[in-house]
Structure 1
Amino acid sequence: MGAIAGAVATNIYCTQPILPLIETGLGVDLAAVDLVAGAALLGFASGLALLLPLGDRVDRRKLVLAQVTLAFLAALCATFSPSIWPLIASSFALGVVSCVPQQLVPFAASMSLPSERGRSVGTVVSGIMIGILLGRTISGIVGAYFGWRAVYGLQAVAMVPVWFISASLLPRGVPTTNLSYGRLLASLWPLARDNRPIRESMIVQALLWACFNAFWVNLAALLASGPWHLGSGWAGAFGIIGAAGAAAASFAGRGADRHGPRWVVGISILVVTVSYVILGGAASSMTLLILGVIVLDIGVQAGLVSNQTRAFAVDHTAQGRINSLYMTAIFLGGAVGVIISGWLMSHYGWKGIVVFGIVLGLTACLYHWQGDPRDQKARAGELEAQRK
């Protein structure tokens, strides 16, 4: 599941290192080309909202196979897009059907004992994060040598073995509800309204994911315009550096099983905020840039697993719907982070990105630690359930 999830996750992030190549190839400005990356995230958020709830109703294996097939077609459309707007539309469509990784996370959680749920979620999320980061590396190198269209073509080709592996190895999913599709969607709001742990997880990780994407979507522009004048291949190579932090997802899952996920979330917020303090010097120091990348990825990945584990603990029969709420919120946050950071980079340069990241981190910290006396009993029960 981790390997399949990682392969499909590259569909969303392969665009980021090659944005300057698209800008040059299609003759558009930076603000317009950032919409390609933003459309992928908005599409992904739409898929999470509309497709993930189906995982509670039908066989998740069938959902995965159908989505991989459509991802192949969307990547082909992106490959042959004649101008920026068809590319944006193709990017949005590719994002919608590439929510396969988040079909697999609740799949793994539902197959695990409560005492091992964090570890299982961490394993699949590690695969996702490695896919995201190495996908950037591969796309940057391929784009540098063969052009941006070759990147989308490679994504389409990659979906073929992914389909056959999924068909051969994934177990059949067992539906946990017989609610109609309309009632599944209608049940999302009460889940979020009535469960504070789900709401907290959604909001905090949305802020952290905005930090994550604000950095990565502007990295290529920083390297191209900074003192180094490096191309997309170098921007993609930073994915290897970031992948060093992917192990944090697995360790965060184990920490959530042992200490409770909310404790790990607090540490994650602190780490992400500190990473942007380090990145304040990234415009002039390669050492600080590399260190900031590692710290940022560790914090965001640890937060992703611990927040997700916390949300899943609320109701084991609604894993797909909980994940739909959770992932929709964080990818909306990521899309907003991409769009705002693109404007900030155009007007204020790297300093604007750094200030944006620190403000987001402090906002997440304030929200997380504000507390709610009415929720103390629920938090104690949650921790006890995780220990059991």
Structure 2
Amino acid sequence: MRSTPQNSHETRPPPAAPRGKILMMAVIAGAVITNIYCTQPILPLIQAGLGVELASVNLVAGAALLGFATGLALLLPLGDRVDRRKLVLGQIALAFFFALAACMAPGIWALVAASFGLGIVSCVPQQLVPFAALMSSPGERGRSVGTVVSGIMVGILLGRTVAGVVGDAYGWRAVYAMEAAFMIPVWFTARALLPRGIPTTQLSYARLLASLWPLLRDHRPIRESMLIQSLLWACFNAFWVNLAALLANGPWHLGSSWAGAFGIIGAAGALAATVGGRAADRLGSRTVIGASIVIVTLSWLLMAGAGTSLVLLVIGVIVLDIGVQAALVANQTRAFAADPAAQGRINSLYMTATFIGGALGVAASGWLMERHGWPGVAVFGMVLGAVAGVIHLLGARAQRRSALPLH
């Protein structure tokens, strides 16, 4: 009988974290995620430096996203089994070495491999999202998740800005050297800030991975959130991975620093993650998801004319980021609610699907950009948004039917 309180103590979530700690977790998340997205504005520089085709150099960006998805699938479930703090610190340390390898890569395939490895260990931000959810009261969970996701999105967008400026001034290798150097203070900050993680399961790693399937099978909200967000993330990355080529080869002939500067414009929409989290708490996640799908699809309608209009491009990127970021939080909040004791594994399923969608979006849109130009990419984005809308409507109909009383 004595083991009962001990076991309950071991699985008890940590006390609610002060707001300042959640904000610092958002800063760490934003800093680490730049490892993945610093490549996108410097792709033309890598293409020129290594003498490869556009489709080949896009593999560098795709490998980072695919590596990220692999890390989410294999490392994120461990957050339910081991001390998540140790896991985070180990991944940041490895990110330092992979960024150095990318900096010194002698050719395109070595760079692709280093980018893939860097992607695997840079899933730290998604280790912090369930951390924030568990450290928050139920009424504040959406807000806390939204804060950390806002940090991630600001890191994605502003990281592009810094990478574009540094790449134009010092070359693409300097960007990876900067990322490696940046991981040092990030590691020390995380070590000082993060509390000890408390495991929520005693399953072995093999059984932990095996438990992903029942979660996916038994919870329709998880499946819907995964599929919808993977489509919207493909929309998001289809824009950003082709932006540098659009600006360089379109009527403006602008360099990588200009492509990076669009990160500042897009960062204006990063607050949508926090707003989306609060709206999900108040209005329900499904309402926010539906509105976000409409916003993302509208953004691609605007950007269809971006090949000749910078104004449409600027408006479109703001609208796109608002929709994608609000959906990211709302879908994540909805998925987490399916099983609060399996936050890490749910996040693994959700974010793995999201970044596989992003990687496929990069590959498919790169092929379309090379053969059909920007109009082909715009049509691709609109089709993805429409498919996400259909899935959302079918899910809402199924939910209404399941709620009908039995006769």
Question: TM class, shorter-chain normalised?
Answer: over 0.9
Q: 1:1-388 maps to which residues of 2 (within 5 A)? A: 1-371=25-395, 375-376=399-400
Structure 2 CA distance for aligned equivalents of residues 377 and 365 of structure 1: 19
Structure 2 CA distance for aligned equivalents of residues 329 and 165 of structure 1: 30
Aligned pair in 2 of structure 1 residues 27, 311: CA closer, same or farther (>3 Å)?
Answer: same
* Secondary structure of the structure 2 residue equivalent to 1:349: helix
TM-score, normalised relative to structure 2: 0.92
Larger Rg: 2
Aligned-residue Cα RMSD (Å) equals 1.1
* Secondary structure of the structure 2 residue equivalent to 1:282: coil
Structure 2 CA distance for aligned equivalents of residues 198 and 113 of structure 1: 21
Runs of 4+ with >3 A deviation: 371-380
* Secondary structure of the structure 1 residue equivalent to 2:395: coil
Deviations 1:182-230 (Å, cap 9, x if unpaired)?
Answer: 0000000110111000000000000000000000000000000011000
Structure 2 CA distance for aligned equivalents of residues 18 and 132 of structure 1: 14
Structure 2 CA distance for aligned equivalents of residues 302 and 152 of structure 1: 30
Equivalent pairs, count: 380
Amino acid at match of 2:289: V
Structure 2 CA distance for aligned equivalents of residues 28 and 262 of structure 1: 44
Structure 2 CA distance for aligned equivalents of residues 57 and 370 of structure 1: 35
Shift in Å, 1:370: 1.3
Shift in Å, 1:379: 7.8
Report if aligned partners of 2:224, 2:395 keep a CA contact under 8 Å in 1.
no
Alignment-derived partner of residue 8 in structure 2: none
Aligned pair in 2 of structure 1 residues 21, 379: CA closer, same or farther (>3 Å)?
Answer: farther
Aligned pair in 2 of structure 1 residues 193, 149: CA closer, same or farther (>3 Å)?
Answer: same
Shift in Å, 1:111: 1.0
Structure 1 CA distance for aligned equivalents of residues 319 and 403 of structure 2: 28
Aligned pair in 2 of structure 1 residues 378, 167: CA closer, same or farther (>3 Å)?
Answer: farther
Structure 2 CA distance for aligned equivalents of residues 372 and 319 of structure 1: 24
Report if aligned partners of 2:368, 2:376 keep a CA contact under 8 Å in 1.
yes
Structure 1 CA distance for aligned equivalents of residues 254 and 128 of structure 2: 36
Identical-pair percentage: 71
Structure 2 CA distance for aligned equivalents of residues 61 and 84 of structure 1: 34
Amino acid at match of 1:269: I
TM-score, normalised relative to structure 1: 0.97
Shift in Å, 1:114: 1.3
Structure 2 CA distance for aligned equivalents of residues 223 and 373 of structure 1: 42
Amino acid at match of 1:294: I
Structure 1 CA distance for aligned equivalents of residues 397 and 329 of structure 2: 25
Unpaired runs of 5+ residues, structure 1, are: 381-388
Structure 1 CA distance for aligned equivalents of residues 162 and 396 of structure 2: 45
Unpaired runs of 5+ residues, structure 2, are: 1-24
Structure 1 CA distance for aligned equivalents of residues 359 and 225 of structure 2: 17
Shift in Å, 1:131: 0.3
Shift in Å, 1:115: 1.3
Structure 2 CA distance for aligned equivalents of residues 302 and 225 of structure 1: 32
